[in-house]
Amino acid sequence: MLRMTKLSKVYRTHMIETHALRGFEIDVRQGEFVTVTGPSGSGKTSFLNIAGLLEEFTSGEYILDGVNVKGLDDAARSRLRNEKLGFIFQGFNLIPDLNLFDNVDVPLRYRGFNARERKERIEDALAKVGLASRMKHYPAELSGGQQQRVAIARALAGSPKLLLADEPTGNLDTQMARGVMELLEEINAAGTTILMVTHDPELAVRTHRNVHIIDGQVSDLVRHAPSLVDAGAASASASA
């Protein structure tokens, strides 16, 4: 599904060079639920941004669902992002001036679906997260947990192959967090690959495997429940 080989990301600001990722390698198989952990400043966010085609990388290779990302222009990357990926952010990032229906609608508009198809998908997605009855409400009227679920609905509406989640439970209390995690597990069980960044070790253990990043490199990997992994799933290789 997602494979990065010898990936590097260097930030150059004024006179300072920061190596966010060095020689990073990861391979995520279809249907996996992988968490990415690491201390602050380890490069988790850079990894997620690159994985999500939100940023370009300095060197290395990145293949997403069979497509080599290198050399794609901004329009192509946006297209790829729109069709194959779904995003869930720590801060929900719903658009406050739009109601739930219109919020979930946003990525679908860029896809070019017609009005009827969009309506179907939105209603399905909101129903899946249990918020179909509040379609016309505005984000400000919902709790944190509900907002995140709308964000998940938005991510799902386009039937993405891969869901990228950045600390999805970071702004939620324990109960809401549990609810969101259960939802994600449901979605994963239904066949969507999920890549989740988190610093909560308790969450990390619930998933198939965990990739730990320190100083821009994968430091160790922990395989949790072999039964959850497809037979023949490769393990992440150790860094060079």
Among residues 161, 186, 211, the alpha carbon closest in space to that of 34 is found at 211
What's the one-letter identity of residue 32? E
Interaction of residue 81 with other proteins, rule CB under 8 A: yes
Q: Where are the alpha helices (DSSP H) in the chain?
A: 44-51, 74-84, 100-111, 115-128, 144-156, 174-189, 201-204
The region of 35-43, 74-82, 141-149, 177-185 touching other proteins under the rule CB under 8 A is 74-82
Interaction of residue 198 with other proteins, rule CB under 8 A: no
Interaction of residue 11 with other proteins, rule CB under 8 A: no
**Hey, which residues between 141 and 160 contact other proteins (CB under 8 A)?**
154, 158
Interaction of residue 127 with other proteins, rule CB under 8 A: no
236 DSSP assignment: P
Q: Where are the alpha helices (DSSP H) in 56-200?
A: 74-84, 100-111, 115-128, 144-156, 174-189
Judging by DSSP bridges, how do beta strands 2-13 and 59-64 pair with one another? antiparallel
Q: Which of residues 32 and 105 has its CB atom nearest to other proteins in the complex? A: 105
- Give the nearest distance from C-beta 91 to other proteins in angstroms: 6
- Give the nearest distance from C-beta 89 to other proteins in angstroms: 6
Judging by DSSP bridges, how do beta strands 85-88 and 2-13 pair with one another? unpaired
Residues near other proteins, by CB under 8 A: 45, 48-49, 52-55, 74-75, 78-79, 81-83, 85, 87, 89-91, 93, 95, 97-99, 102, 105-107, 109-111, 138, 154, 158, 166
